[in-house]
Structure 1
Amino acid sequence: MATRAAHKRLTREYKTISENPPPYITAHPSESNILEWHYVITGPEDTPYHGGQYWGTLMFPPNYPFAPPAIRMHTPSGRFQPSSRLCLSISDFHPRSFNPAWEVSTILIGLLSFMTSEEMTTGSVSATEAERKYHAARSRWWNSTGGGSHVKATSGQQKGNVKAGDGGAKFRAEWPELDKENWEWMNQHNIDPATGNPRTVPGGASGAGAASCGPQLGLAATTGSGHQAQAVVDAVVQQRNAGRGWLFRNKLVLAGAAIFIYVLIARLLGAGGVSSS
């Protein structure tokens, strides 16, 4: 339970951040517990997270602001381990370095700054730019479906932690308007709620307005950057050869053979003309 000072401080900070939210950030305390805050970071432009919707929690101690919160990001991002405590100078890993003058907005701005850097710490992961863009594209689906577990939701909630198995229930409870927007977005883009991938529609096209019927790269099925690179190579080769016959694929060999035969015949004819004269 929050101390009187912590309750007063967090109430004031909620008013401040609601009236003047930092760029790309929105946050609010849970209705049932003022020490449990939920934030959403929208991926900034010119980053691999652009357009992504990253949801996480700040769990404040009862004696805040004299001790820092535990910081987690639940949405897979390719930057942090989902729902893991992050070791930052503004988190509960370093209580002695925390400044009581720092506010919720300061903490979240610091988190966003660290997210867009490449510095490593406990709770962070290394991923390629393509992998981070992939997570950003699926973030709305993940938040509102619990990673697809809404199909068969199971009890997966923990205090201060959120597992994908909750079927998106926690996100829906804390962000009902965003959840509604996410489902509308999934319908508009013909996203399969069970997988997060575009549905295949009659005619072989997938997703809303899709026109290509060539081989798909299918990077979602790979597990590492090396496998992803091989998948790209294989798909390009497959697409290049799709619908092409033996003659087309061996046109250079055939052309060389034709030139060789032409030169050989020309020499034979030339030699015959010289001998007859």
Structure 2
Amino acid sequence: MASKAAHKRLTREYKSISENPPPYITAHPSEANILEWHYIITGPENTPYHGGQYWGTLIFPPNYPFAPPAIRMHTPSGRFQPSTRLCLSISDFHPRSFNPAWEVSTILIGLLSFMTSEEMTTGSVAATETERKYHASRSRWWNSTGGGSNTRAGGPAQKGNIKAGDGGAKFRAEWPEVDKENWEWIKENKVDLATGCKAGSAGPSCGPQLGIAAGSGGQAHAVVDAVMQQRDAGRGWLFRNKLAVAGMAVFVYVLIARLLGEGKSTGS
């Protein structure tokens, strides 16, 4: 159960993110539990995730904002293991690095920034650009059908069992309007409900199998500056680059915190 401070803070943040959502991001708390938030990231232009619909959850602790949330992305992306807790400086893996001034929008901007980099961590995977585009093209189908589990023998799994496939029940409950749009898209594109293949696609898999690409990128926390400049052309520099500024602020804060921690350890 959320503390009074957490409830008040998250209520305020929901109002803020609803009135001024960050680019490519939408989020809301569950009606049944304000500590359980659901987000959708729309893949930015000029990335392998373009057009993808990536659904995930933030599970906040009762003492938020004095501790960070657990972060998961349920939709397969070729970047993260589905429904797996992600080890990020803004997640519950690193409570000492979390700044209580950070908000839901800050957390999700940081997640999008990390997603568009190649840095590896617990819960992330490496894949080719082709594989990530393949996942993006099937993301709407996956969200609204539970990865095709709505057609399997025996019916869908329990509503909360997202990882195993729930027939799309949980997504539909949290995103009814988006789910309706997805089903219209599925019908228009004649997508096979069991496989996610569009009509005319060759082969049973209609795409590449997920593989592991060699190597990993360095620390990258700025989200597609060129995309933001195109989207916000004519606006101020700070507005156009707010994702990069937020990402760099998170990176600098964590770096300073680690340096101070090492200094204390050396001094003792």
Q: Report the TM-score range of the alignment, normalised by the length of the smaller protein.
A: 0.7 to 0.9
User: 1:163, 1:100 → 2: CA distance?
Assistant: 30
Deviations 1:205-257 (A, max 9, x none): x17xxxxxxx779663645479xxxxxxxxxxxxxxxxxxxxxxxxxxxxxxx
Shift of 1:35: 0.2
Aligned match of 1:17: 17
Mapping for residues 108-119 of structure 1, pairs under 5 Å: 108-119=108-119
Q: Which runs of 4+ in 1 moved over 4 A?
A: 215-219
User: 1:217, 1:169 → 2: CA distance?
Assistant: 25
Greater relative contact order (CA < 8 Å, ≥ 6 in sequence): 2
Structure 1 position 88 matched with structure 2 position 88: yes
Question: Structure 2: which amino acid aligns with 1:220?
Answer: G
Secondary structure of residue in 2 paired with 1:220? coil
User: 2:119, 2:179 → 1: CA distance?
Assistant: 31
Could you tell me which runs of 5 or more consecutive residues in structure 1 were left unpaired when the two chains were aligned. 200-205, 208-214, 227-277
Deviations 1:187-221 (A, max 9, x none): 1111111110023xxxxxx17xxxxxxx7796636
User: 2:195, 2:34 → 1: CA distance?
Assistant: 34
TM-score normalized with structure 1 length: 0.73
Aligned match of 2:29: 29
116 and 186 in structure 1: CA distance in 2 versus 1, 3 angstrom threshold: same
User: 1:86, 1:28 → 2: CA distance?
Assistant: 20
Shift of 1:156: 4.2
Aligned match of 1:154: 156
User: 2:212, 2:95 → 1: CA distance?
Assistant: 36
User: 1:92, 1:168 → 2: CA distance?
Assistant: 27
User: 1:173, 1:102 → 2: CA distance?
Assistant: 28
User: 2:90, 2:212 → 1: CA distance?
Assistant: 31
- 8 Å CA contact 1:142, 1:148 repeated in 2: yes
Mapping for residues 224-263 of structure 1, pairs under 5 Å: 224=211
Question: Structure 1: which amino acid aligns with 2:38?
Answer: H
- 8 Å CA contact 1:156, 1:163 repeated in 2: no
- 8 Å CA contact 1:147, 1:164 repeated in 2: no
Aligned match of 2:78: 78
Secondary structure of residue in 1 paired with 2:122? coil
Mapping for residues 40-119 of structure 1, pairs under 5 Å: 40-119=40-119
Could you tell me which runs of 5 or more consecutive residues in structure 2 were left unpaired when the two chains were aligned. 214-268
Deviations 1:131-165 (A, max 9, x none): 0000000000000000000113332454xx62242
Q: Which moved more, 1:11-20 or 1:149-158?
A: 149-158
Secondary structure of residue in 1 paired with 2:114? helix
- 8 Å CA contact 2:125, 2:212 repeated in 1: no
User: 2:168, 2:9 → 1: CA distance?
Assistant: 30
47 and 223 in structure 1: CA distance in 2 versus 1, 3 angstrom threshold: closer
- 8 Å CA contact 1:156, 1:164 repeated in 2: no
Structure having the higher helix fraction is 1
- 8 Å CA contact 2:126, 2:212 repeated in 1: no
Aligned match of 1:191: 191
Tell which structure's C-alpha radius of gyration is larger: 1
110 and 221 in structure 1: CA distance in 2 versus 1, 3 angstrom threshold: closer
State which of 207, 210, 218 in structure 2 corresponds to 1:220: 207
27 and 88 in structure 1: CA distance in 2 versus 1, 3 angstrom threshold: same
TM-score normalized with structure 2 length: 0.75
Identical-pair percentage? 79
Secondary structure of residue in 1 paired with 2:190? coil
Question: Structure 1: which amino acid aligns with 2:98?
Answer: F
Deviations 1:72-106 (A, max 9, x none): 00000000000000000000000000000000000
